Amino acid sequence: MKTASYNIRLDPAIKAKAEKTFAVFGLDLSEAINVFLHASILQRGFPFELREPIFNFNVIRAMEETEQIIEDYNNGSRSQKTFSNAHDLIRDILDEVDDEGV
């Protein structure tokens, strides 16, 4: 069978994750791409539904809070908490939930 080459640019982190994912099925990235292309041809389009991700209010709020926490750590306005065991960690989380009325 003749083959054709096609060069693509990939985010290295995405490439590594994809290679790890497809390796579970015994496929390398080239083989996985060929599977995708064959499935696309059979479906006459993408072999899966494409939709804009929809996040509910709580997910969006949690993502924004996470971004703020990361920013606070990076600029030094928030210090990292450490715990000696899981019970102390859980107790701290529950205390924060009680304080915030969540």
State the pLDDT confidence band at 102, using cuts at 50, 70 and 90: low
Tokens 């989380």 sit on residue: 93
pLDDT in tens, 40-95: 999 999 999 988 878 788 888 898 999 998 999 889 888 888 899 999 999 998 98
Q: Is there a contact between 78 and 72 (Cβ–Cβ < 8 Å)?
A: yes
74: left (phi over 0), alpha (psi -120 to 50) or beta: alpha
